[in-house]
Amino acid sequence: MLVGGTTDVGFEGLMESWGATWPEGKEIIDGIRAAHRETELAGVDLMAQSPMAHGLRGLMRVVEEADDRRLCAAVHACTKASGTLVLLWTRAVEDPELMHRLMSDVMWDQWARVGGLAPHGAAGEAGIAISTVQYLAVPGWADDLIRFQTVMENLVVAFAVRLPS
């Protein structure tokens, strides 16, 4: 899929691959299949809209075509959100209410669960890079991340999370 994009793999091929590597995710995968079928019947090709539609070349094109202002805004937003999430998560481990508030937001599934908790070092840098590409490539994703950043900042205040000095 990284080389040729989603057309090389196809939707069912992707679902079979996910099922083989994530057997406990059967219910989620079945839900994705059902949603895909509904949109397909409505005449929408979700695979063509995917950031992976054209593989790694397509993702790189998205980054290359972003002007300096937009690319810097994406990196800044993703870095700031990752840092804020790490601060909240360290507190949320001890506070179920805070954890519930974080996990009940749609961005938890779209971003935080997938890679928002960026560890230090190369893995964290890769997580920020992936988030940056999503910010640039996925329609509406940037707005959702900015909204979630506001939610997280309000939680920092509400739960008196101590910022590092």
Q: What are phi and psi of 59, to 5 degrees?
A: -65, -40
Separation between Cα atoms, residue 115 and residue 82, nearest integer Å: 9
Nearest alpha-carbon partner for 135 in 84, 81, 77: 77
pLDDT by residue for the chain (165 residues), tens only, comes to 566 666 677 778 878 887 887 788 788 788 888 888 888 888 887 777 666 677 777 778 888 899 999 999 999 999 999 999 988 988 888 888 999 999 999 898 778 876 777 777 777 787 788 889 889 988 899 999 999 999 999 999 988 866 554
Placement of tokens 């938890």 in the chain:
108
pLDDT in tens, 73-97: 999 999 999 999 988 988 888 888 9
**pLDDT at res. 39:** 82
What torsion, rounded to 10 degrees, do the Cα atoms 120, 136, 85, 161 define?
120
In this prediction, residue 32 carries a pLDDT of 80
What is the rounded average pLDDT for all residues in the chain? 83
pLDDT score of 110: 79
Specify the pLDDT at position 77: 96
- Give the model's pLDDT for residue 71: 94
Instruction: Report which of 126, 132, 149 is spatially closest to residue 73, judged by C-alpha positions.
Output: 132
DSSP 97-135: HHHHHHHTSHHIIIIIIIIIS--SSHHHHHHHHHHHHHH
Terminal alpha carbon distance of the chain: 43
- Sketch the domain layout of the chain as residue ranges: 1-65, 67-158
